[in-house]
A and B are shown apart, each in its own frame.
Chain A
Amino acid sequence: MTMALDDKAGDRSSDAPDGAGGAAPIVEVRGVAKHYDALVALDGIDLDFEAGRLTSLLGPSGCGKTTLLKIVAGLLEPTAGEVRVKGRPVSGPGPERAFVFQDFALLPWASVLRNAAFGLEVRGMPKAEREAIARRYVAEVGLSGFEEKYPHELSGGMRQRVGLARALAVDADVLLMDEPFSAVDEQTRRQFQEDLIRLREVENKTFLFVTHSIEEAVYLSDRIVLLSPRPGRVSRVIDLDIPRTGDPEAIRRDPVYLDMVDEIWRGLKHYVE
């Protein structure tokens, strides 16, 4: 297990020390800033996200991590700078990106199946076709048998699984996840994290993952981008190389995992209060 730490430096994204194949960046963020009147939410963000990796945006509240994710999603316009996905500048949502919402954003009047198929529905795919695809992803996230249920009949964790199935069903290259597990209880959250690691083995996707949990970021990520608040800036980029093929529980006992969590916490501590 190797771990490369580099302080805020220009070369942070140029070569991946874990030898992930020198993958080309699929998402490029160039000089992005976001101002709300006098408030500077994000300032001068330059980042590359490589294909097939999971990058966490981690930081205290108010550091603009969700804002940055929404700018990448095309849901918010940056005040300055630009985002490129697969080389093309982002001017709005696109088919190569799918979003998983913190509050699930499920339609309460639609069944699990219709919710999971919603991304395909708005693209005009015929009903039989989109439901067949949605059925497959509903099964993949472990909700077989719940296709005809409504969101209010599901637990919080199950609702987020529907949100995940909906994002997977559109077959996007990049999954943008905005604190997806923050609204579910701790046990469900751990189960979810382990499932996400397994999911990555079958789905070759790039993940951008916003979280405020240090443990979650270290547990899941190939790379962690630490953001500092007021104004939101990149304070540090950490590349992690934790093998995640074995027992998912073993990672939580790994000394490297524990040391990393501790180190990040020491770095973030002074933002609290």
Chain B
Amino acid sequence: MTSVQTSRADIGALATAVRRRAVGRAWRSAGWKVASLALLFGAWEIAGRSGFNFAFPTFFETMAALAEMLADGSMGAAYLRTAEPLVIGLVFSLVVGVAAGVSMGLRHDVEWFTLPVFIVMQAAPMAALIPLVTFVYGIGLTSKVLAVVILAMPVIAINSYKAVRNVPPSLRAMCRSFMGTRRQEIAKVVLPAASPMMFAGIRLGVAEGFSGVVLAELLITPTGIGDLITYHRSVAHFAHMYAAIFSIVLFAVLAVTILQWVETALFRPEKRSAA
């Protein structure tokens, strides 16, 4: 009797300990992230203070410039301009890239016809084509959207294709053996099974899209965030220039993180419970 009670108390204590350890783990992992960033920004601050380059501001100068640009609205306005080609280009790349990738994965005839195009697009230094794009489509929105698309789409399409190819054949056979239709096989088995790798490609594609839009704004015509960078460099406001670069990196990281969250929420409930 006593032993039963003791063991029950033990189990209670154990459960509390396990909970505490889980909370501890979460804090520790957040702690490591903060430490990593602190190390990076610390190194930046020291490098800035060492004065090795007159054009390299310290971390705190950059943050002050960032706050100033946020306050005076110049950064908000720049992002509104940049967002236009970026969003149009990414939505187009996503829709066409995923559709092309999935159909290449599902059908050999589409694969033969389409895959070489994407392999060439992925292998070639597409940024070098931006002047050509400008030559054909001018300096307007079309060229900038195209710059985003040519950088973002190949990696999205090729990853979607490989993701579909890598779906375990036994899962597809399972669906067929229970008389699932082709449509059910794709919707209930192939797409969820392919989603982790597909989303890895989408995250890479979104990151590439950010490169594309910045390249376009630096190479074609300075607008939006590219304009902020170019302008502040030309007037030697280096802290402001770095703040603009910092902000676009931050924005890209945020977008990619949100995508990861969307993926887990939509397709992979088991990862939520595992986390």
The count of chain B contact residues (Cβ–Cβ below 8 Å) is 23
CB of A228 to closest CB in B, whole Å: 26
Judge if A164 is at the interface, Cβ distance under 8 Å.
no
Mark A residues whose CB is within 8 Å of B: 70, 73-75, 92-95, 97-99, 101-103, 105, 107-109, 118-119, 121-123, 150-153, 166, 170
A95 touches B179 (CB 8 A): yes
CB of A169 to closest CB in B, whole Å: 10
Taken together as a complex, chains A and B put the C-alpha atoms of A166 and B175 apart, in Å, by 11
Given A93-B178, A98-B177, A101-B174; A109-B270 close (CB under 8 Å) = yes
Taken together as a complex, chains A and B put the C-alpha atoms of A70 and B179 apart, in Å, by 14
A122 touches B188 (CB 8 A): yes
| Shortest Cβ-Cβ A-B pairs, 10 listed | A119-B178, A150-B270, A105-B174, A122-B180, A99-B177, A105-B170, A93-B177, A122-B184, A109-B268, A93-B179
Contacts of B268 in A (CB 8 A): 109
B178 touches A107 (CB 8 A): no
Mark B residues whose CB is within 8 Å of A: 168, 170-171, 173-181, 184, 188-189, 192-193, 267-270, 273-274
A94 touches B174 (CB 8 A): no
Given A122-B184, A150-B270, A152-B274; A109-B192 close (CB under 8 Å) = yes
CB of A178 to closest CB in B, whole Å: 9
B174 touches A99 (CB 8 A): yes
A105 touches B178 (CB 8 A): no
Of B177, B189, B274, chain A has the most CB atoms within 10 Å of the CB of B177
Given contacts A93-B179, A123-B178, A151-B270, 16 further A-B contacts (CB under 8 A): A70-B173, A75-B177, A92-B176, A93-B177, A95-B179, A97-B177, A101-B170, A103-B168, A103-B170, A105-B168, A105-B170, A105-B174, A109-B268, A122-B188, A150-B270, A150-B274
B173 touches A101 (CB 8 A): yes
B177 touches A109 (CB 8 A): no
Given A150-B270, A152-B274; A105-B188 close (CB under 8 Å) = no
A75 touches B173 (CB 8 A): yes
B168 touches A122 (CB 8 A): no
Q: Tell me what chain A mostly uses at the interface: helix, strand, loop, or mixed.
A: loop
Contacts of A94 in B (CB 8 A): 179
B179 touches A109 (CB 8 A): no
Contact among B171, B176, B270, B274 with A75 in the assembled complex (CB-CB below 8 Å):
B176
B184 to A, closest residue via Cβ: A122
B195 to A, closest residue via Cβ: A109
B269 touches A109 (CB 8 A): yes
Contacts of B179 in A (CB 8 A): 93-95, 119, 122-123
CB of B185 to closest CB in A, whole Å: 9
A105 touches B171 (CB 8 A): yes
Supply 20 A–B pairs (Cβ within 8 Å), ascending by A.
Answer: A73-B177, A98-B177, A99-B173, A99-B174, A99-B177, A103-B168, A107-B171, A107-B189, A107-B193, A109-B267, A109-B270, A118-B188, A122-B175, A123-B178, A123-B179, A150-B270, A150-B273, A150-B274, A151-B270, A152-B274
Taken together as a complex, chains A and B put the C-alpha atoms of A75 and B176 apart, in Å, by 7
Taken together as a complex, chains A and B put the C-alpha atoms of A107 and B174 apart, in Å, by 10
Taken together as a complex, chains A and B put the C-alpha atoms of A97 and B179 apart, in Å, by 10
Taken together as a complex, chains A and B put the C-alpha atoms of A73 and B170 apart, in Å, by 13
Contacts of B188 in A (CB 8 A): 107, 118, 121-122
Contacts of A101 in B (CB 8 A): 170, 173-174
Contacts of A153 in B (CB 8 A): 273
A118 touches B171 (CB 8 A): no
Taken together as a complex, chains A and B put the C-alpha atoms of A94 and B225 apart, in Å, by 60
Taken together as a complex, chains A and B put the C-alpha atoms of A267 and B268 apart, in Å, by 49
CB of B49 to closest CB in A, whole Å: 49
Of A74, A108, A123, chain B has the most CB atoms within 10 Å of the CB of A108
Taken together as a complex, chains A and B put the C-alpha atoms of A105 and B177 apart, in Å, by 11
